[in-house]
Amino acid sequence: MTIPQVVATIHQPNSEITETFDDLTLLAKGRVLYTGAYRGAPQHFSAAGHPCPLYMNPTDFYIRLSSKDDVADDLAARWAAVTAKGKDVSGKALGADEDASMLALSLEGAERGGRDAKGARDAARGGLARASSLGAAVGGGAAGAGWCGGGAGRAPAWYQIWVLMIRFFRSWWRTPVLIAAETIQYVFLAIFSGLVYLFVGRATDLDSGYDRMAAVFIVLALLAFTPSYTAVVVWDHERRLLRRETNTRMYTRGAFFIAKSLTTSPIEAAQVAVFATVTYLMFGFQLHAGRILTWIATLVLFALCSETLGYFCAIATPNAAIGVSLMNTLLVVLMAFSGYLVRRVPVYLAWIQRISYFSYATDVLVSNEFAGLTLSGPGPAGGAGDVSVPGEAFVPAAVHTGLGVGGNMAVLLGMTLATRAGTWCLLELAARGRFL
């Protein structure tokens, strides 16, 4: 049986395409720079003094090399010396029958207005590449199927995280509309809720106590659904990239998760801090630096918990639609037993209140506002004059967790870190179970 040979000419291919080829012929202005096994190309170019930078698509790297006249001249001369021996770099006799497909990267970029050269430079600038001794050490061996530095374990974990963080920041820098849209959303929601309860904190009647509680609840509700929903939707797109790049051992899943947390969390915290500042001032709550900082810090921790819950639901489900459904169900359950909607929690459901981050955030925010506050209003029917009620006495007992402000914030911080770690573990389990 004769196995047909396939010859393909392709310009600026991506790693997914080149992974399907066995051999590579690299041309520049009609001159051969390399012919042989595709996986042997990084080793050949590294020996020639041109190691493929870590985490860079090899084909992008080859295009960049061939677009430079001096480099192409040197590589062509080196290849001529190799072929003079009658063998390619793999030691196989040239011209022998090969039961493989052939990839021909016909690089005529210089003769076509430098189109390919420009694409290569753009790819090099935008890729996760850094020409370093580390890149040379990794690129010098047999590369992974789709990326230079194929073995993720060969690069230190800190370097994987650093490179991925750079990529996340570059992605946001190139498409600032994503962050701008999310920031505008937070500002809009802050102004909207602020207008609904505008200066409610300036009133001291008994009814204002209920309004204060409602203002706290609506803020928590907004920060429960907004970051978690964004996390679920974004993850639906990121999971494909993560699956492809970790399967080619470009980096570890842990490096991806840590890098994402280190880059998205500060941005999320800044956006929530703006939201918290606007709402606090528009509500007219007690103007005290300590109380304002407590309000902001609590809402930031609460939003990060919500974001983590969104990632957890996204990873645990096959698509965004199911992830959003699971997220909404969990949030409603956790919200119901925070002490605001249900004043008397049944004993058999008290455990939900204990594990709900809503409970601890509600206790902090309500205690932060009602401490030192005095409300007054008409007394009981038939009574004489108004009555004064301390703010702490106005708060339902179900709201209190039994901890102080500092204790509740410590629990929120612990929940944030614990849920992040749990989500990371779920990510690893999903990948090993081929559910990612």
Give the residue-averaged pLDDT of 232-236: 90
The helix (run of H) or strand (run of E) holding residue 386 is: strand 386-390
Q: pLDDT for 387-402, tens place per residue?
A: 788 888 888 888 989 9
What values do phi and psi take at 133, rounded to 5?
-65, -35
Q: Name the 3-class secondary structure at 14.
A: coil
Q: pLDDT for 161-214, tens place per residue?
A: 999 999 898 888 877 888 899 999 999 999 999 999 999 998 888 888 889 999
Give the residue-averaged pLDDT of 343-352: 87
pLDDT at 24 over 90: no
The whole-angstrom separation of Cα 2 and Cα 14 is: 30
Confidence of residue 354 (pLDDT cuts 50, 70, 90): very high
pLDDT at 115 over 50: no
pLDDT at 121 over 50: no
C-beta of residue 218 within 8 angstroms of C-beta of residue 196: yes
**pLDDT of 64:** 85
Q: pLDDT for 47-97, tens place per residue?
A: 888 888 766 777 788 888 888 889 989 998 888 887 776 554 444 554 433
The whole-angstrom separation of Cα 222 and Cα 190 is: 9
Look-up: residue for tokens 């999320």?
Answer: 268
Of residues 129 and 425, the one with the higher pLDDT is 425
Strands across the sheet containing 7-9:
7-9, 102-107, 23-28, 31-37
Angle subtended at Cα 378 by Cα 372 and Cα 384, rounded to the nearest 5 degrees: 115
Q: pLDDT for 254-274, tens place per residue?
A: 999 999 999 999 999 999 999
pLDDT at 15 over 80: no
Q: Residue 205 has what DSSP assignment?
A: B
The whole-angstrom separation of Cα 124 and Cα 134 is: 17
SS3 content of the chain, % helix, strand, coil (to 5): 65, 10, 25
The helix (run of H) or strand (run of E) holding residue 298 is: helix 289-316
C-beta of residue 362 within 8 angstroms of C-beta of residue 209: no
* Among 3, 26, 394, 63, residue whose Cα is nearest residue 207: 394
**pLDDT of 87:** 53
Q: pLDDT for 84-106, tens place per residue?
A: 765 544 445 544 333 333 333 33
pLDDT at 2 over 50: yes
The ranges assigned to domains in the chain are 7-150, 158-432
**pLDDT of 306:** 97
Q: Name the 3-class secondary structure at 158.
A: helix
Confidence of residue 116 (pLDDT cuts 50, 70, 90): very low
What are 170's two structure tokens?
Answer: 């570059």
What are 435's two structure tokens?
Answer: 């559910």
Classify residue 130 by burial, with Cβ atoms within 10 Å: 0-12, 13-18, 19+: middle
**pLDDT of 231:** 94
Question: Can you give the pTM of this predicted structure?
Answer: 0.70
What are 265's two structure tokens?
Answer: 């969390």
Q: Name the 3-class secondary structure at 21.
A: coil
pLDDT at 325 over 90: yes
**pLDDT of 247:** 80
Q: Which of 99-120 are b and which e, b meaning 16 or more Cβ less than 10 Å from the residue's Cβ?
A: eebbbbbebebbeeeeebbebb
The whole-angstrom separation of Cα 295 and Cα 54 is: 44
**pLDDT of 153:** 45
Residue 403 burial (CB count, 10 A): 16
Give the residue-averaged pLDDT of 356-361: 95
What are 17's two structure tokens?
Answer: 């395409």
Confidence of residue 149 (pLDDT cuts 50, 70, 90): low
Look-up: residue for tokens 């401490």?
Answer: 371
Of residues 133 and 186, the one with the higher pLDDT is 186
Of residues 135 and 221, the one with the higher pLDDT is 221
Contacts of 393 (CB under 8 A, 6+ apart): none
Contacts of 152 (CB under 8 A, 6+ apart): 160, 246, 249, 250, 251, 252, 255
